[in-house]
Amino acid sequence: MNTVLAAEDVVKSFGAFTALHGVSFSLERGKTLGVVGESGSGKSTLGRIVMRLLSPDSGRVWLGGEDLLALGRSQLRAARRRIQLVPQDPRNALNPTMTVRQNLYFQLRAQNVPRKTWASTVERLLDQVSLPPDYLHAFPHELSGGQAQRVAISRAIANNPDVLVCDEAVSALDKSVQAQVLNTFADLQASTGVAMFFISHDLAVVEHISDDVLVLNRGRTVESGATRDVLADPQDAYTRDLLTARHLAAPS
């Protein structure tokens, strides 16, 4: 099996409120799982759990073959390098007082990458996200939203993770820029084999990028399977509503 990330029956409550009611999925190397659902359906909570930024009440999570929830502190530090976040707002990932080069060096140092490779690595990283090397001198506030997101992606892939957790990673971008950044994600995946756990409230985005889809509604899986099958023939009324909402929002 080539499963790089999997969850089984994950339950998470905040006080009396249950945000996830037993959610399962599996993600293969080189594939993208789209996670959709309206606001509050539990998408980010699931993303934080699979990065072990948050502990579930019950259930299991595997990263590679390892039981993520059973790892000790040093094993967890190693595991965290294999799963990286691309957030909605790249400004959350980038230090505003540092240039792009310094931001990327900071990440490489944190990941114990040998210093003598940094200069060439950062040029390669920018190239992988289709940014010219001139941008190494820029500060985050000098970048457009799409450029800043490309830098955040390059930072996330700096040490060849197995999985990217993308939480609304293109949601703040204009439609045309969104399409370009989605293509960059697809190119990166083709060249590196990275798997993506791609959270979005936007079905059009998920349709574009995902092999498989997991539809959440109030913390429950209402539908899952190959994107093509699920979106072509939704079995659940909630998914049909989401599709209708998309068509109303963006008539084709």
Ligand X SMILES: Nc1ncnc2c1ncn2[C@@H]1O[C@H](COP(=O)(O)OP(=O)(O)OP(=O)(O)O)[C@@H](O)[C@H]1O
Residues that bind Mg ion (CB under 5 A): 44
Q: Which is nearer to ligand X, 27 or 136 (CB)?
A: 27
Q: Can you say whether residue 200 is alpha, beta or left, with left for phi > 0 and alpha for psi between -120 and 50 degrees?
A: beta
Distance from C-alpha of 146 to C-alpha of 172, rounded to nearest angstrom: 9
Pick the binder of ligand X from 16, 39, 134, 248 (CB under 6 A). Answer: 39
Indicate the residue among 143 and 199 with the shorter CB distance to Mg ion: 199
Sequence length of the chain is 252
- The binder of 45, among ligand X, Mg ion, none, by C-beta within 5 to 8 A per type, is ligand X
- Complex with ligand X: residue 129 or 223, whichever CB lies closer: 223
If one asks whether residue 21 binds ligand X (CB under 6 A), the answer comes out as no
Binding flag, residue 43, ligand X (CB under 6 A): yes
Using the contact rule CB under 6 A, the part of the chain among 39-47, 74-82, 131-139, 145-153 near ligand X is 39-47
Q: Which is nearer to ligand X, 42 or 234 (CB)?
A: 42
- Distance between CA atoms of residues 132 and 124, nearest Å: 10
Contact flag: residue 37 with ligand X (CB under 6 A): yes
Tell me which residues in 68-127 interact with ligand X (CB under 6 A).
Answer: none
Tokens of 207: 């349709």
Which one of Mg ion, ligand X, none is in contact with 97 (Cβ closer than 5 to 8 A by kind)? none
Q: Which residues lie across from 6 on neighbouring strands? A: 26, 62
Minimum CB distance to ligand X smaller for 181 or for 199: 199
Give 66's contacts (C-beta < 8 A, 6+ positions apart): 75, 79
- Tokens 């019950």 sit on residue: 58
Give the neighbor-by-neighbor strand order of the sheet with 3-14. Answer: 17-28, 3-14, 58-63, 66-67
Residues within the interface to ligand X (CB under 6 A):
14, 19, 37, 39-45, 201
